[in-house]
Homo-oligomer: A and B are copies of this chain.
Amino acid sequence: MYLRKLDDLIYHGVDRISSGELGKQMGLTPSQIRQDFSCFGEFGQQGYGYRVAELREQVARILGMHRGLRAAIVGVGNLGHALVENFGFEEQGFNLVAAFDSSPGIVGTVISGIPVYDSAALTDWLRRNPIDIIVLTVPKRIARSMAETVADCGVRGIWNFTNIELELDRPDVRVENIHFSDSLLTLGYFLAEQDSAEKNG
């Protein structure tokens, strides 16, 4: 959240910002912000504010964005395509190096500079090319077995778009799930609440 906000401030040419103003823009109290940033060392100065660019660098460093973690995507359907072409892994500090799919029509092609290999070659490839993170955009029915497979090959992070809850029972592998429906249902809930407030109000 801080990273997004700081990027936004940089984009708008803001050099310095006080904890009060940052708090106002983010819906946080100034003391919460000072506390969050206190562990980063001295980026703020009383009555002077934070230096936005330095704070942004520090947040990015804490998030490990300077490490160039290597990623590969498995499943190049519509969603996989969208991620390869539009997500901007590099901006986030990740190095997307390969894509895998089982469809003959796409294997052997190159999408936005990323080669698409045959999924059948995935395990061999992973043993020769260590990867930190797999972006999982395969169909539901093969999601779990694919996750197990890549974990067996030493992958430590899975970014899961398959709409199933992956609980791998491996403390060394972290899974982050993207649940599209959660936020859509939140929207629906808000509209339902609004309607019943109008009805009763």
Contacts and interface: CB of A to CB of B under 8 A. Distances in A.
A153 interface: no
Contacts of A62: 189, 192
State the oligomeric state as a number of copies: 2
A85 B177 CA distance: 20
Interface in A83-115: 83, 85-87, 92-94
B78 A86 contact: yes
Contact of A183 (B65, B156, B176): B176
Interface residues of A, number: 50
Interface in A1-37: 1, 3-4, 8
Given A82-B77, A165-B8, A188 B87 contact: no
A126 B42 CA distance: 52
Contact of A67 (B165, B184, B192): B192
Contacts of A174: 187, 190-191
A103 to B, nearest CB: 15
Contacts of A69: 188, 191
A15 to B, nearest CB: 20
Interface of A: 1, 3-4, 8, 62-65, 67, 69, 77-79, 81-83, 85-87, 92-94, 132-133, 156-159, 165, 172, 174, 176-194
